[in-house]
Amino acid sequence: MTMQVSQDFAPPFKLIVPYFLIGVFSFLFCTMYLFGININELHFLNPNVLSLVHMFLLSFVMMIIFGAMAQLIPVTLEVGNYCLKLYYIIYPLLSLGTVLMVFGFSFHILLPFGGLFVLMAMALFIFEFFATIKKVKKFNNIIKSLVLAHIFLFFGLLIGISLSLGYAGLINIDMFSFLKAHVYLLLLGYVCILIMALALVLMPMFSLSHNFSKTPTNFAVSSLGIAVLLLVYASLFDLVSLSIFAYGLSILALLSFFYQCYILYNTRVKKHLDIYVKFLFVSFYSLLASIVLFIIYFYQNMQQYLLAAGFLLFFGFFAFLIIAHIYKIVPFLVWFDKFAPLVGKEKVPMLKDIVPQKSASFQFYFALIGLNICTLALILSSNSLFKIGTSFLVIASLYFCANLIYMIRFSHVHKK
């Protein structure tokens, strides 16, 4: 059975729009930022790498997630937001904090201030989430997964603010150990578990999947939650053997989630391979390829395989997964906001009419070519090849920005 989604508690569309606009244009800036990267000088404490990673995660991934959560949490749980107005404060704080952090890795004095604004934005979001979810009378596994993810987010933030103070030289901490714990809590603990939970809501809804087993996701969330705890503990106390076990458990959890997506794909009613499915295919291909490259790095200890695995995880798995859902969520919100009241009174467009199909296909193929070229360039340590791949990604991102604006404006054009 698919989880029921009600629109009775949906927030206004104008509240969601800034999150998507900021997120999508930030993704364009991230792809353009790749031109300034010298892949032969990359390491995890490189200021350019830290700036790019935080721009990608905060202003693209987190911004889109927060906007989507503002819509999905109340309509999925069928309870109203505790304080919807907080969302009008969160995105300016998060945007300002991200800008200060991006520059702060080069100008260290700015970093604690950026961290403070990001902390304030996320603290407001976490407060609103738990205050809203407190209204729910019966917790299912999806809600439990969301709660677990946001607990990891909270502790990831605490370690993150410690890192910003340490990087600025204000406190003395083991930067590498804290950095690993920070990454595990936010990437695996928050983003990945959140994706797993929401996949059981969004993917069946968009593909009309029915009567599927949720066991793989339940196993994936539980395993990944345990793995995150073990990885954080092992990082802080430098326990290599425990880390290796936890890495294996993490990979097993991700593969279990991949199997859940395979089940959803096979039980779907909509068999047409639309732009949503195409982006999802590349997203999961990237996840599998990233795991393979990570395993190769583990055995051969060659830096280029780790860099390629990280690139595929960010610009392949996360990016393509988010883009896929933008092409479903935005048309749905536009249609519900502008055309639902007109049903039965006049002819209204279908959801697929709101998506610029040809332009979205151009974006997909440019992004796919760029992703593969950049990954190959990282494996071969070729800066010139990496720049070529980046060019394709930038063109794809420009199409993405234009397509988002088209979808948002579609309602105004067709209401006249």
Tens digits of residue pLDDT in 152-203: 999 999 998 888 888 777 888 888 899 899 999 999 999 999 999 988 888 8
CA distances from 162 to 119, 182, 184 (A): 11, 10, 15
Give 10-residue mean pLDDT values along the chain (416 residues): 50 89 97 91 78 94 93 76 89 96 88 90 94 84 91 93 82 87 94 91 76 88 96 92 94 92 79 86 94 91 90 96 93 85 80 91 98 96 95 98 94 47
Given CA atoms 44, 47, 52, 57 in this order, what sign does their dihedral have? positive
Total count of residues recorded for the chain:
416
Of 203, 193, 145, 137, whose CA–CA distance to 3 is shortest? 203
CA distances from 315 to 35, 57, 352, 382, 398 (A): 14, 11, 26, 18, 15
Whole-model pTM: value is 0.91
Q: Which two tokens stand for residue 41?
A: 């000088």
Digit-coded pLDDT (tens) for 63-81: 999 999 888 887 777 777 7
Position 136 scores a pLDDT of 81
Position 10 scores a pLDDT of 66
Position 7 scores a pLDDT of 52
In terms of C-beta density within 10 A (0-12 exposed, 13-18 middle, 19 or more buried), how is residue 356 classed? buried
Q: Which residues contact 165 (CB under 8 A, 6 or more apart)?
A: 112, 115, 171
- For 106-160, the DSSP string reads TSGGGHHHHHHHHHHHHHHHHHHHHHHHTT-SS--HHHHHHHHHHHHHHHHHHHH
Amino acid identity of residue 113, one-letter, is F
Give one word for 343, left, alpha or beta, with left for phi > 0 and alpha for psi -120 to 50. Answer: beta
CA distances from 154 to 118, 121, 327 (A): 12, 12, 29
CA 341 to chain centre: 32
The count of C-alpha atoms lying within 13 angstroms of the C-alpha of 171, restricted to the half-sphere facing its C-beta, is 14
Q: What is the DSSP letter of 269?
A: S
Of 216, 188, 218, 206, whose CA–CA distance to 324 is shortest? 206
- For 12-24, the DSSP string reads PHHHHHHHHHHHH
Position 336 scores a pLDDT of 83
Q: What is the DSSP letter of 35?
A: G
Alpha carbon distance 405, 394 (integer Å):
17
Q: Which two tokens stand for residue 60?
A: 């693209």
Q: Which residues contact 222 (CB under 8 A, 6 or more apart)?
A: none
Q: What is the residue-averaged pLDDT of the chain? A: 88
